[in-house]
Each structure stands twice: as C-alpha cells, then as structure tokens.
Amino acid sequence: MSGAARATPGLVVRGVVTPLRLADFGLIAFDMDSTLITIECVDEIAKVAGKGAEVAAITEAAMRGEIADYKESLRRRVALLEGVPEAALQRVYDERLRLNPGAEALVAACRDAGLKTLLVSGGFTFFSDRVRDRLGIDFTRSNVLEIEAGALTGRMVVQPWGDICDGAEKRRMLLETCASLGIVPQRTIAVGDGANDLPMMAAAGLSVAYHAKPKVREAAMVAIDSGGLDRLLEIFVSAPARAPRRESPPGSSGS
C-alpha cells in the first residue's frame, strides 16, 4: 500500500490524520457478506443445493473485480439456485451464518457515539433483516429472492429502487441516507471487503477495508488485515480531538 503508515500490526492507515473522534461522524455503512458476517450467503445456499463450486467461482471473480457487471454475476449465481427449498435459507442462517469478530462491539460503539447505522448488501433480505435485528441496525438495503411454492425460482424480486443492490446502488443508498439525516457524506464511514463496495467507500469520508480483496485494500484509507471489526476503534479517541480531515496531497498548499 503506497504511502501507507502502519499504525499497529494488521491495521494500516493512509490519507487520514489520526486520532479521530467517532462522534464527528454521523453514519456508518456496512457491507454484509464477509464484512459483518463470516460467510457469502449465496455461496452457502449453493452448497446446500450441491452447486457450491460453480457459484463460489463466480462470487470470487466478482469480488476480485474480474467480472465487471456485478448484476450479471449475481443473476448467474441466483439462477443456479432454482428449485432450492425455501427451508435451506433458514438452515444456512442457523448453521452457518456467524457475525465477524468485533461486529457487535463496533456497532455498539458507533451507536453510543450517536452514529446511525446502515447495512447495504448484494445479499438477500432473508439474512440482512435478521442481521439488522440482531445488531440493531437502523437502515438496510438488499435483494429479495423470489420464492414460489416453497422453492427458489432462480430470480430476484424487483423492488421500488430496482432488483439488484450493486456497487452503484450501495453508493446511492449511502448518499440518500445522508440526505435524509441531514449530514454531509464527509461525515460517513463505509466498511466493506469486495469490489462492489468501492463506490460507497469512495463517497464516504472514511473508507475501511476489512480482510479485503487486494483492490479494495489498496483503495481504502483504513485496512484491517488481522483481528476483528472493532480494531477500527483503535484510530479513534474518546476525548475531543481534531475534526476528521484528509491529508493534503504532497506539494499542495492545503487550506
């Protein structure tokens, strides 16, 4: 990571002056799969259906940014799930879905500091609604799997905003939530791990990569490479400190 300063082992910070004060932010947005939770839900559903390898290969290519059209990659994966019993979703939730270490601590700390919380996911409402309720998340946006006669159809339901929450939709939801809360995007934190998180991370005042793909790690202001999500709290202080600001590029006069 060019120009990065390693604060402590496994935590890399660049392009932002620390320590920061958490209360200077108004919103934190999280990706879900492999960020707030340990799994990629579509992959786990596929494993139950005996199509794990096919779906996982598409997921990995999409998260690395090798498949430029995320919507198409997700449609291809969901199509492979046609005929999977609806009960498989509950089985995945009960048996395989776990929160990533530090998720509860980080969300609680943000809530205590007055931040609102947003979950934006290319995953599915069956899981995001449950994670929302478990963590006390304020706002969510994710995809709806179509179910007929107790089985997945291999399609997603069109919602008022569209049918697939991709990178552009994550960014739009972040900005829409800022507008509804009356805060500027510079006062937001965005946390993700995959290529479709980059648009919202670029729009946020503080971008955080959690055990992320190389492209995402290189673009982020904070990279958590080891440990839990609560390691983000290491760059903040509880006492009043300087307002969050980006470093001026080398050779610039600043303001």
> To which H or E segment does residue 231 belong?
none
Q: At residue 136, what is the residue type?
A: G
List the catalytic residues.
31, 33
Give the C-alpha separation, 238 to 236, whole Å.
Answer: 7
Given strand 188-192, what is the order of strands in its sheet?
5-8, 11-13, 222-224, 206-210, 188-192, 27-30, 116-124, 139-143
Residue type, position 121, single letter: S
Asked whether the beta carbons of 31 and 38 are under 8 A apart, the reply is no
Tokens of 250: 């080398």
| 20 bridge partner residues | 236
Segments in 81-153 forming alpha helices (H) = 87-95, 103-112, 125-135
Sole residue written with tokens 């007055």: 114
Give the span between the Cα atoms of 179 and 109, in whole angstroms. Answer: 23
- Tokens at 118, concatenated: 């947003």
φ/ψ of 66, rounded to 5, equals -80, -20
